[in-house]
Amino acid sequence: MRLILLGPPGAGKGTQSARLEKKFGIPQLSTGDMLRAAVKAGTPVGLKAKAVMESGGLVSDEIVVGIIADRIGEADCAKGFILDGFPRTVAQAKALDAMLTHKGMKLDAVVELVVDEKALVARMENRVKETLAAGGTVRADDNPEAFAKRLSQYREQTAPVSGHYKSVGELRTVDGMAAIDDVTAQLDKVLAR
């Protein structure tokens, strides 16, 4: 199962990715984790990324897709993978599509968790209250201002990725506002097609 999970911050992608990892025995791939691992391992693509990062620049789509290409060639990805947080732009989606085609692979599904942004803000505020009540530490970006900024960036840069996959007939959607188990059941249904 080669899968992309789309949706704004707080939509539940991480929760559902963990469940899908267990169900299918495939890894959830984080571009940030892969980037750090490639740099640490000193791979050719990792060395390119390191040079860019050390100069304070943003790692190019070409480098990120190269790191993904290397990573999906590893043994634990033989049965597939879950991309959560990538692609972030239509250009990245097209580069990913081209790389997969070059490797003779294709995506099995692109699923968007559709959510109500106002309800997401309320969900985030409730998570902060619950975390504080339990004596936990709140993430720095779990405040209304930072969350609104993340949602705005998502709308501008990443939401068009859904349109890209819809235009090529690959997008499936589930109601991300449902209860966690219900979202899982919807995912099971759309992935069984």
Tell me which residues are annotated as active site. 13, 88, 127, 139, 150
162: tokens are: 């859904």
Phi, psi angle pair for 134, to nearest 5°: -85, 0
Residue length, the chain? 193
Return the DSSP state at 58.
Answer: P
Helices marked H in 5-116? 13-24, 31-41, 44-54, 61-71, 90-102
A 10 A CB-CB count for 5 gives: 25
